[in-house]
């Protein structure tokens, strides 16, 4: 059963840039003041924040499922539970169980020339952490990141994606209910607000997203010499070694590729396989895709592409690929639906390296297949390394 659209959550229409920047700066200064007053929170304080995060999810699980469904257009509640809600709760519980012991100082035996001195590593919070979260797993990659920062004793400002506005509005509402503004603060808005957010002098900044945007975030943070962690997308090859059982390989590749319709940073981006096994590989992929989603595009568990612009980008990639390579469809019937933004899985055989499906992260249900000479896996490795 699919969740119903949560009509109580309203999408903000206009956010004034200067007003938002002033508010962000005010909140940031309030958090910095809190850090100065209490720079190293006790474990009980950190635990309470983690506990509230957990309760926020548990008490609003159905609403979270509903708004993610709304933003995507079609995303099965089971997918959201498996890939957003469960891993977030699991991470919070893991931190609650283990983080207290991680806080304890660690002693080391010094080099002989420092004797009779001693060495000890003392773990301290950074302070105020900024997090810029993506849209593809909106709960796990936002609240999961907040949980890590809370466990380490930090306060957080969280910039949520404008691509999933209904989810982002709900999280803003819930955070205001469960947390004080100087503990956790949610920022909404377009890319111009993200740029201003990255310019704040955070004690650490985490960005999860594309390489192109990551460059801009790093440049903005560099103005303050803010330490930055960039978790960026890229090309994730899957190599099928000679004589490896194709049925097992295809089952794993198809599950990883088609969950969330390929909108996953570690989904197999392209496959390398021996030339003699390419035809068999495609046939088994078609069989596996139809087993996973028997109704094709109409299957309620097959996820929509998140936005019209992303949908059109994938169609353009396929159009370009079809000029130089054979494209094989895996579903029966229609291969795309403009209304629901669903795109059936497509295999592109031996595309040239300079077209978009081979030069950029795909982030959708398109799978290039590159043939390497029979029994010569070294050429596959050379291809990846190049």
Q: What predicted TM-score, i.e. pTM, was given to this entire model? A: 0.93
Considering the domain architecture, whether residues 350 and 266 belong to the same structural domain is answered as: yes
Considering the domain architecture, whether residues 204 and 307 belong to the same structural domain is answered as: no
Pairwise CA distance, residues 383 & 326, whole Å: 20
Question: Which residues are part of the catalytic machinery?
Answer: 231, 265
- Nearest Cα neighbor of 259 from 384, 81, 132, 134 is 81
Residue 212 lies in a domain: yes
- From its phi and psi, is residue 260 left (phi > 0), alpha (psi between -120 and 50) or beta? left
| Mean pLDDT along residues 269-297 | 98
Considering the domain architecture, whether residues 210 and 350 belong to the same structural domain is answered as: no
Considering the domain architecture, whether residues 182 and 247 belong to the same structural domain is answered as: no
Q: Which residues pair with 129 in a beta bridge?
A: 156, 204
Tally of domains in the chain? 2
pLDDT in tens, 105-146: 999 999 999 999 999 999 999 999 999 999 999 999 999 999
Considering the domain architecture, whether residues 318 and 376 belong to the same structural domain is answered as: yes
pLDDT in tens, 332-368: 999 999 999 999 999 999 999 999 999 999 999 999 9
Considering the domain architecture, whether residues 183 and 244 belong to the same structural domain is answered as: no
Pairing of strands 204-209, 228-232: parallel
Pairwise CA distance, residues 214 & 148, whole Å: 21
Considering the domain architecture, whether residues 61 and 167 belong to the same structural domain is answered as: yes
CATH at 258: 3.40.309.10
Residue 5 confidence (pLDDT) above 90: no
Considering the domain architecture, whether residues 149 and 290 belong to the same structural domain is answered as: no
Q: For residue 303, give its domain range.
A: 237-385
Last residue of a domain, one of 232, 254, 273: 232
């Amino acid at each position: 059963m699919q969740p119903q659209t949560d009509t109580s959550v309203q999408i903000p229409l206009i956010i004034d840039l200067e007003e938002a920047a002033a508010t962000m700066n005010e909140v940031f200064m309030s958090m910095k003041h809190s850090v100065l007053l209490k720079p190293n929170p006790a474990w009980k304080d950190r635990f309470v924040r983690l506990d509230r995060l957990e309760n926020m999810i548990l008490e609003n699980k159905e609403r979270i499922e509903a708004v993610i469904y709304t933003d995507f257009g079609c995303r099965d509640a089971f997918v959201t539970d498996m890939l957003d809600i469960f891993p977030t709760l699991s991470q919070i519980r893991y931190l609650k169980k283990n983080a207290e012991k991680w806080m304890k100082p660690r002693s080391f035996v010094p080099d002989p020339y420092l004797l009779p001195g001693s060495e000890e590593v003392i773990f301290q919070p950074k302070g105020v952490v900024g997090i810029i979260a993506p849209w593809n797993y909106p709960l796990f990659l936002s609240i999961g990141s907040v949980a890590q920062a809370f466990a380490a004793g930090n306060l957080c400002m969280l910039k949520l994606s404008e691509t999933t506005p209904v989810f982002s509005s709900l999280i803003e509402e819930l955070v205001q209910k469960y947390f004080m503004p100087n503990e956790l603060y949610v920022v909404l808005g377009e890319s111009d607000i993200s740029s201003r957010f990255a310019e704040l002098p955070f004690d650490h900044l985490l960005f999860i997203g594309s390489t192109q945007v990551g460059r801009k975030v790093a440049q903005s943070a560099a103005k303050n010499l803010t330490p930055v962690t960039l978790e960026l997308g890229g090309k994730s090859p899957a190599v099928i070694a000679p004589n490896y059982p194709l049925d097992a390989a295809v089952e794993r590749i198809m599950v990883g590729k088609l969950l969330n319709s390929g909108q996953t940073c570690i989904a197999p981006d392209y496959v390398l396989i021996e030339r003699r096994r390419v035809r068999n590989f495609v046939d088994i992929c078609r069989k596996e895709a139809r087993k996973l989603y028997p109704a094709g595009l109409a299957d309620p568990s097959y996820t929509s592409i998140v936005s019209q612009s992303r949908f059109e980008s994938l169609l353009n990639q396929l159009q370009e690929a079809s000029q130089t390579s054979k494209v094989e469809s895996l579903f029966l019937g229609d291969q795309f639906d403009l209304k629901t933004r669903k795109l059936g899985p497509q295999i592109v055989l031996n595309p040239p390296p300079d077209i978009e499906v081979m030069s950029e992260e795909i982030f959708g249900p398109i799978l290039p297949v590159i043939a390497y000479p029979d029994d010569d896996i070294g050429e596959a490795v050379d291809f990846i390394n190049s």
